[in-house]
Amino acid sequence: MTTLDGAVVLVVGASGGLGSRLASRLTAAGAVVVRGARNPQTLAGPDAYLADLTSPGAAAALLLAAEQAHPEHLDGIVIAAGAVAFGPIGELADDTLDELFAINTAAPIRLIRGAIPRLAQSAAAGRKPFIVTISGIVAESPTAGMAAYSASKAALAAFVQAASRELRRSGIRVIDARPGHTETGLAGHPIAGSAPAFAPGLDADTVAERIITAIVGDEKDLPSTAF
């Protein structure tokens, strides 16, 4: 069992529909939450830092800010930031493709890579550090009309699956969550195209609670069937 009381956790995408709920639940469980997001209108409070994940240096800057604010330790990272795009592949623009992979794939990889030393220190000190990523059901079932989005999330899931095998040697647990379509509001703000008429999605509060349960319960994977 992982104790969150007193844990320092970086939540990236903390102003989003799912990230904000995860940050609130971590705080309620006693964690010290460092929040990172790119929207200054929805990111506020102490330990809150702006981060535009389309920039290659954003991950390192956010990790440095967390270290300067809490040099004692870092015990977890929750990567809930994401971008979505819709439309046929024939209409996929290069800038859309670049942004999807920058936010959904490259930035999480950089965050995980950059956090390894401090998370390993947490494990060496007897704590139980963790990383949470959210690749979503499209990583399991790529979806027509969302091909590039599906690819960016499937790439993240593949990286995390391999990384989890490496990082467990350092005592770092990695959880990839792959819930089905969830009512977070993300589909209403695509970087390209328009969302199709989705069936009602999963409740965001329920999904957030399930992820927190997995963190506390030392789970190592959250496939779509877990939601």
Distances (CA, A) of 74 to 105, 115, 133, 154, 217: 22, 8, 16, 27, 19
Give residue 92's pLDDT.
97
Type of residue at 12: V
Give residue 46's pLDDT.
83
List the beta bridge partners of residue 182. 202
Tell which residue, 12, 4, 93, has the closest CA to residue 50. 12
Asked if 107 and 58 count as a contact pair (C-beta separation under 8 A), the reply is yes
Angle of the 147-167 helix axis to the 94-101 helix axis, nearest 10: 20
Asked if 65 and 34 count as a contact pair (C-beta separation under 8 A), the reply is yes
Each residue's pLDDT, cut to its tens digit, for the chain (227 residues) gives 999 999 999 999 999 999 999 999 999 999 999 999 988 888 877 899 999 999 999 999 999 999 999 999 999 999 999 999 999 999 999 999 999 999 999 999 999 999 999 999 999 999 999 999 999 999 999 999 999 999 999 999 999 999 999 999 999 999 999 999 999 999 999 999 999 999 999 999 999 999 999 999 999 999 999 99
Q: Which residue has the tokens 């040697």?
A: 169
pTM comes to 0.96
HSE, CB side, 13 Å, CA atoms: give it for residue 120: 11
Q: What is the CATH T-level fold of the domain 10-19+32-200+211-226, as seen in this structure?
A: Rossmann fold (3.40.50)
Give residue 44's pLDDT.
78
Distance between terminal CA atoms of the chain? 20
